[in-house]
A and B are shown apart, each in its own frame.
Chain A
Amino acid sequence: MDNEVLLKMKNVHKQFPGVYALKDISFELRRGEVHALLGENGAGKSTLIKVLGGIYAANEGEIFIEGNKVNIQNVLQAQQNGIAIIHQELVLVPYMSVAENIYLGREPMKGIIVNKDKMNNDAKKLLVDYNLDFEPTTLIKNLSIAQQQMVEIIKAISFNSKILVMDEPTSSISDKEVDFLFSIMRTLQEKGVGIIYISHKMSELNEICDRVTVLRDGEYVGTKVVSETTKEELINMMVGRQLSKYYTRNYLEVGKTILSCNHLCDNNMVKDVSFEVKEREIVGFAGLVGAGRSETVKCLFGLTKDYSGDIVFLGDKKHYINAKQALKDGISLVPEDRKKEGLYLIQSVEYNTTIEVLSEFIKGIRLNKKKEGEITQEYIDLMDTKTPSLRQTVGNLSGGNQQKVLIGRWLATKPKLLILDEPTRGVDVGAKAEIYSIMNELVKEGLSIIMISSELPEIINMSDRVYVFAHGYVKGCLNHTELTQKNIMHLAAE
């Protein structure tokens, strides 16, 4: 591996109204290197990448590629300079096929018409190369998020770029796909591609990264060689303090059964699912992506029109056909896809926080703005959300902070049963620790939680019991004493 500098960003500044997102950041990427970019939610990682990718214009700063100063004003110029980016937010076109998305803007042509056969064949080859088992003609909207993420990844790779940037590529895919992604990255590395890698999963650093640069509040903190540093030191650099405890969990005496579901079936992804939840219990749903976990809770929450099976909640038989009924009974669901299913992106933090609890400050036409602000502030404080004001548009927050707003919204409903679908996706270490400790507190206060997660450490360290899903079936239930990576994977891969 040679140490030639591939990319250099010098003294980059970027300001948004009310937010100084990048203050004098310099960054260097070498050929054949995987360089991690680390920082808390809102530290400026994505913004730096967007400057590199021509999406935001920096207020100041220079970019050099292989020693030559380049001027990147838009996405096309970034591509021409050999930069491919997988953004944190998926940017695929939902109503186009996989192949059309991969070759968007560079379709193979036959005269003046698009050569569909070639495009589909090329895409098929890529999919086969990367072991993905869907067709190039499938519409994006019919894929799961994990599958969409894989499409993004192979799309970026298919540009054969010198510089590949991945902004949290592993936040929505499962371990199997992560291993696979890492093997692709190693191959690219050998070819001399420089990779910038953003992730909140510290364990991935040792596995795949060579160097790491830490940002904090838009400022450069330092760059380290991964093998010469420790997790503790990096966390310290990120949050500016020692993080005492990561997982907080007191196992309590659980109470009586509050929810039992028998033989749930949605005629699609959910084949036969039975489980129960007790008072003061955190129940984990583990499994590979696409195992039917999210679809199961959608049945429970009344979001699937057509499903069969018995649901008994708090002693009564239920068959919810919309979320309103479930909410009224005290069930809340924090959805997995925060952009599509959760947030009103063009609305404010305040609007997004209070949309479920309007009755607390709107009586008829009497609107108590002050109360609304107080409720919002309460949950901003509780979740430690970083936002310049209550009025900030949610779409302008960093990804992790958007997630915090969303969790805050559902906590505000004061549910009896809280369902969290991938609650820590894209959330930084400090905030993750906080979410875990909040979950622990909530359970102490008598709440029950169902947590769907593809992150095994979080499942293992937080759950009282875990149901392992595969292909729409529950393959087994493990008590917290039996929870090991091996036991879970054994069931999940059945």
Chain B
Amino acid sequence: MGKTNTIQSSKMKEGSYKFLKENLGIIIAFVVLYVFLAVYPPTTRAFLTSRNMFNVLRQISTNLYLACGMTMVIILGGIDLSVGSTIALSGCVAAAGVARYALPIPVAIILGLIVAILIGVFNGTVISKTTIPPFIVTLATMNIARGLAYVYTGGSPVRVVSKEWQFIGAGYIGPIPTPVVILVFVLIVTALLMNNTKFGRHMYAVGGNTQAANFSGISVSKIKFYVYAYTGLLSGLAGVVLASRMYSGQPTAGTGAEMDAIAAVVVGGTSMSGGSGKIGGTIIGALIIGFLNNGLNLMNVNSFWQYVVKGTVILLAVFIDFLRNRNK
């Protein structure tokens, strides 16, 4: 018994050592950013408050739901541009369920999630059954879902005036914000799926070498289908949580969210050419993007300039990665 325990813990050590080594660049970047925000006079006071921390974590949560799916999609060698619009449509549907049809909140939420899964299923079906590039397919569904959200709401937010509605997005479980609790759950499920299941292994195979995967008897189209469907579900989760936090389903919600998710994945070291990537990297990537956003806000940087800074940081992060790989 004792022996297996030490083996287990030495494996854990090996694992975390490897994690540190592989992600050294971005871990350092994150620590530097964090320390900077904590000591830099204009941000130091506001930054370290628990209110701010929870706030950042909430924002990071929704981005990470998306990024979890996006990591898997990108490992497959694909991309999903429709996640941002899915946020809007699923949020609006769930909110309308409560506000317009007086459905019980859980039912409304499930309705929102179903809409999101349907979008994922549609993406997955087209991408796995045809050779149309995922970029094009999801570009189309991105527009369709956004359009439907506007059509459905007539362009204005669907307000929800129920205290319970706020629980999932703005509430707490014990001392911890609900979205963060959901996040932990999502991360565990995703990590298990990617690292511990046959499905995960097969996913890396399809992304790494589709032709070999065929020879391996792996059902390439099934894997693709499920990954896009799962990404749809996670986008729906983000949509519902956001709609709850904003007391309303908004057709403009999640605009550009796909870009933040992709950025987190890429900064986290997942290769756009598919076949490799780890959820741990994505988490750090999302932390960097999240704290960067927060820092820029605290410093009152003009929102136009924020885009410039964010783009530059993304470039820098992948550039460091490029340098490290070149030296290998």
Show the binding face of A for B, using Cβ within 8 Å: 17, 301, 303, 322-328, 333, 335, 340-347, 351, 355-356, 358-359, 362, 364-367, 369-370
Contacts and interface: CB of A to CB of B under 8 A. Distances in A.
A333 B215 CA distance: 8
B218 interface: yes
A356 B217 contact: yes
A341 B205 CA distance: 11
B198 A362 contact: yes
Q: Which of B209, B212, B328 is most buried by chain A, counting CB atoms within 10 A of its CB?
A: B212
Given A322-B219, A365-B193, A365-B196, 9 more contacts: A322-B217, A325-B217, A327-B217, A342-B215, A344-B212, A345-B208, A355-B202, A355-B216, A356-B216
A344 B209 contact: yes
B204 A344 contact: yes
B211 interface: yes
B212 A367 contact: no
28 contacts: A322-B214, A323-B214, A323-B215, A323-B216, A324-B217, A325-B217, A326-B217, A327-B217, A340-B209, A340-B211, A341-B215, A343-B209, A344-B204, A344-B275, A345-B208, A347-B275, A351-B201, A351-B204, A355-B201, A355-B202, A358-B198, A362-B196, A362-B197, A364-B197, A365-B192, A367-B195, A367-B196, A370-B7
B23 interface: no
Contacts of B275: 344, 346-347
Given A344-B209, A347-B208, A359 B216 contact: no
Contacts of B208: 344-347
Contact of B212 (A17, A324, A342): A342
A423 to B, nearest CB: 15
Nearest to B192: A365
Q: Which of A328, A341, A344 is most buried by chain B, counting CB atoms within 10 A of its CB?
A: A344
A303 B204 contact: no
A134 to B, nearest CB: 22
A324 B219 contact: yes
Interface in B71-126: none
A155 to B, nearest CB: 24
A326 B216 CA distance: 10
Q: Closest 10 CB pairs between A and B?
A: A324-B217, A323-B217, A344-B208, A367-B196, A327-B217, A358-B198, A365-B196, A365-B192, A341-B215, A346-B276
Interface in B190-237: 192-193, 195-198, 201-202, 204-205, 208-209, 211-212, 214-219
A322 B214 CA distance: 8
A303 B215 CA distance: 7
Contacts of A333: 215
B197 A345 contact: no
A355 B7 CA distance: 24
A394 to B, nearest CB: 10
A144 to B, nearest CB: 15
Contacts of A344: 204-205, 208-209, 212, 275
A295 B276 CA distance: 31
Contacts of B197: 362, 364-365, 367
B324 interface: no
B285 to A, nearest CB: 20
Contacts, number: 72
A409 B149 CA distance: 49
A303 B196 contact: no
B209 A345 contact: yes
Contacts of A342: 212, 215
B203 to A, nearest CB: 11
A322 B201 CA distance: 19
Contacts of B193: 365
Contacts of B198: 358-359, 362
A303 B201 CA distance: 21
B11 interface: yes
B316 to A, nearest CB: 24
B209 A303 contact: no
Interface string B169-204: 000000000000000000000001101111001101
B142 to A, nearest CB: 28
B217 A340 contact: no
A257 B317 CA distance: 61
A366 B201 contact: no
Contacts of B204: 344, 347, 351
B275 to A, nearest CB: 5
Contacts of B328: 17
Nearest to A362: B198
Contacts of A327: 217
A369 to B, nearest CB: 7
B201 A358 contact: yes
Contacts of A323: 214-217
Nearest to B188: A365
A303 B212 contact: no
B217 A369 contact: no
B169 to A, nearest CB: 29
Contacts of B192: 365
A319 to B, nearest CB: 16
Interface in B256-286: 275-276
Contact of A343 (B7, B212, B218, B276): B212
Nearest to A396: B328
A67 to B, nearest CB: 33
Contacts of A324: 217-219
Nearest to A333: B215
Contacts of B202: 355
A370 B195 CA distance: 15
Nearest to A391: B18
Contacts of A328: 217
Nearest to B197: A365
A362 B218 CA distance: 16
Contacts of B212: 335, 340-344
Contacts of B214: 303, 322-323
Contacts of A364: 197
A367 B195 CA distance: 8
Contacts of A359: 198
A177 to B, nearest CB: 25
Contacts of B217: 322-328, 356
B10 to A, nearest CB: 12
A343 B216 CA distance: 10
Contacts of A370: 7
A109 B246 CA distance: 61
Contacts of B201: 351, 355, 358, 362
B279 to A, nearest CB: 14
Nearest to B218: A324
Q: Which of A301, A328, A355 is most buried by chain B, counting CB atoms within 10 A of its CB?
A: A355
Nearest to B273: A346
Nearest to A17: B328
Contacts of B219: 322, 324
A2 B218 CA distance: 58
Nearest to B195: A367
